[in-house]
Amino acid sequence: MAKLEEYIPIVGKPVIDELKLLGQKLQGKVIQNINSTAVGGGVAEILNRMIPLLKELEVDARWDVIKGGEQFFEVTKKFHNALHGKHEDIDRRDFDIFTETSQRNAAELNTYGDIVFVHDPQPVMLVNKRSGNKWVWRCHIDVSNPDQKVWKFLRDFVVKYDSAVFSAPSFTQELPIRQFLIAPSIDPLSDKNKEIPQQAIDSVMEKYKIPKDKPIITQISRFDRLKDPIGVIEAYKKVKKYVDCRLILAGGTATDDPEGMAVLDEVREKSKADADIHILLLPQNDIEVNALQRGSTVIIQKSLKEGFGLTVAEALWKGKPVVASNVGGIPLQIKNKYSGMLCYSVDGAAYAIKQLLNSPQYARKLGENGKEHIRNNFLLTRHIRDYMLLFLSLYHGEDIVYL
């Protein structure tokens, strides 16, 4: 794991000095993160990098994961989709399953933190255990247009927290508690994002039998309908009529996402007649994701709904031209035709990809701009700073200046 000092050439010394100062002010406080999976998805991705760096800043940050069975994660996946505004059949039984598992977790999990930092809806009910410590709910989802039944149910717990954190102003709901807006981030020095030699890229391409004879379009995402892998294939097919190219759809599964294998089957079915489509079920391996992103000509993220969309930041940081849907946190990262291309449909995605494949210089410029935008706004150091300021503000009066 990279040390703090190694970030200085990337973000500058003043940034690191400020982190050290804030870290000192938090000494003696235990920050307990709680989420629902240690592996897979953006939240686990961030926590895996953030906890060690906070520790290096001598902040006592810890991470616990709630337990849940298949039924619980089926329900939380439905909740996740419903909060994104997708229709789901949710009935009393689903709420009962959620409540029962939450109660079991509440009984088993010690909420020892001075600050209990709960990520996303799965562990939200733990707040019933609060006793004198500070509780913050970190919502990574865009809940601006949720299914009301699910939101009302969760809201009753959310309002018991001291504060809530959302990734962007447009993701929020009105709440009677303090809200903070803190965008997520990527770690430029993680295995997923650090510079790697061409040889490492080539060997991953060879491992997955992907020749370098044609431009490569890639989407890296869990196999999830909201990531619209079928739409990606349709866009690729439209591009392919004009520019010969390959498509990589690569993703693993997350332990809290039961739908993955079914979606993977649909994707395989849809692509089986075309040898230039490479469907990869990835092991959890950050170097491989890094290599696939770096080895691609254009990165696509054609999500129908998105939280922040870390994969976009990862690709931009690598200087790649990105075509991505104008949803969730993606427009924070991509200013259309400046740091990437935003799209609204299969046709729009195909048009943008074609344009980038036909104009490599333009594509390179978008990638360069994208990299600087990520450097200035979405690196881990900025994220840690925001969180530390938030934690400190919990110990101040209501007159504190909001982030």
Contacts with ligand UDP, residue ranges (CB under 6 A): 41-42, 45, 192, 220-222, 251-252, 282, 289, 307-311, 314
Q: Supply φ then ψ for residue 140, to 5 degrees.
A: -95, -5
Q: Which is nearer to ligand UDP, 321 or 328 (CB)?
A: 328
Distances (CA, A) of 202 to 108, 193, 197, 220, 289: 47, 16, 9, 18, 13
CA distance 376 to 236: 32
Q: Which is nearer to ligand UDP, 7 or 308 (CB)?
A: 308
3-state secondary structure of 283: coil
Q: Which is nearer to ligand UDP, 264 or 289 (CB)?
A: 289
Angle at 380 between CA 377 and CA 381, to 5 degrees: 85
Question: What is the closest distance, in whole angstroms, from the C-beta atom of residue 168 to ligand UDP in the complex?
Answer: 13
Q: Are strands 134-138 and 115-119 parallel, antiparallel or unpaired?
A: parallel
- What tokens does 26 get? 């938090």
Q: Which is nearer to ligand UDP, 115 or 118 (CB)?
A: 118
The single-letter DSSP state of residue 277 is E
8 Å CB contact between 88 and 78: yes
Question: What is the closest distance, in whole angstroms, from the C-beta atom of residue 303 to ligand UDP in the complex?
Answer: 8
Where helices occur in 272-359 by DSSP H, the ranges are 286-294, 310-317, 330-333, 346-358
Task: Name, in order, each residue with C-beta under 8 angstroms of 84's C-beta and a sequence gap of 6 or more.
Answer: 141, 142, 145, 146, 226, 305
Question: What is the closest distance, in whole angstroms, from the C-beta atom of residue 392 to ligand UDP in the complex?
Answer: 27
Q: Which is nearer to ligand UDP, 229 or 309 (CB)?
A: 309
Question: What is the closest distance, in whole angstroms, from the C-beta atom of residue 228 to ligand UDP in the complex?
Answer: 12
Length of the chain in residues, anyone? 403
Question: What is the closest distance, in whole angstroms, from the C-beta atom of residue 395 to ligand UDP in the complex?
Answer: 30
Question: What is the closest distance, in whole angstroms, from the C-beta atom of residue 114 to ligand UDP in the complex?
Answer: 28
What DSSP string runs through 367-399? HHHHHHHHHHHSBHHHHHHHHHHHHHHTTS-TT
Reference 46, options 292, 326, 389, 382; nearest CA is 382
CA distance 345 to 121: 29
Question: What is the closest distance, in whole angstroms, from the C-beta atom of residue 326 to ligand UDP in the complex?
Answer: 15
Q: Which is nearer to ligand UDP, 178 or 375 (CB)?
A: 375
Q: Which is nearer to ligand UDP, 81 or 102 (CB)?
A: 81
CA distance 127 to 187: 30
8 Å CB contact between 247 and 218: yes
Q: Which is nearer to ligand UDP, 35 or 369 (CB)?
A: 35
Q: Which is nearer to ligand UDP, 60 or 191 (CB)?
A: 191
3-state secondary structure of 2: coil
Question: What is the closest distance, in whole angstroms, from the C-beta atom of residue 51 to ligand UDP in the complex?
Answer: 16
3-state secondary structure of 89: coil
Question: What is the closest distance, in whole angstroms, from the C-beta atom of residue 316 to ligand UDP in the complex?
Answer: 12
Angle at 195 between CA 189 and CA 196, to 5 degrees: 125
Nearest residue by C-beta to ligand UDP?
A: 42
- What tokens does 115 get? 């600050």
Q: Which is nearer to ligand UDP, 121 or 309 (CB)?
A: 309
Question: What is the closest distance, in whole angstroms, from the C-beta atom of residue 279 to ligand UDP in the complex?
Answer: 12
Question: What is the closest distance, in whole angstroms, from the C-beta atom of residue 260 to ligand UDP in the complex?
Answer: 10
Q: Which is nearer to ligand UDP, 26 or 220 (CB)?
A: 220
Distances (CA, A) of 218 to 193, 276, 278, 297: 16, 12, 9, 8
